[in-house]
Amino acid sequence: GSMKLLGLNPRPRPAVVELPEQIHFHDFDFDLTQKHGLTFVGDPEYVVHEIRAHMKELGAGVLMGLFQFGSMPHALAKKNIELFATKVLPALKRD
């Protein structure tokens, strides 16, 4: 399988991005990334379900998490990390 990155007016991107400057985050529309399964936002059970489904479909073995974005306060980012570490990871490790 493959995943297509969606944005407002995405520029063509190389298959491998070597420099952070090559990623144009302002092109991304967060609602579209969520709608098309590129981001998982919700309670731990939902996130576990979505990660399992996508990893099975894609045959992926590596997961990259982003727990803080935009102007999110530090306390909320910390809560996201704690929920992922205590609820999501243990469930995924049981697989």
Average pLDDT over residues 17-44: 72
Average pLDDT over residues 45-51: 93
Mapped onto helix, strand or coil, the DSSP state of residue 7 is strand
Residue 3 C-beta-side C-alpha neighbours within 13 Å: 17
- Report yes or no on whether pTM surpasses 0.75: no
pLDDT tens for 5-23 read 444 444 554 455 556 566 6
Distance CA 51, CA 67 (A): 15
Average pLDDT over residues 62-84: 89
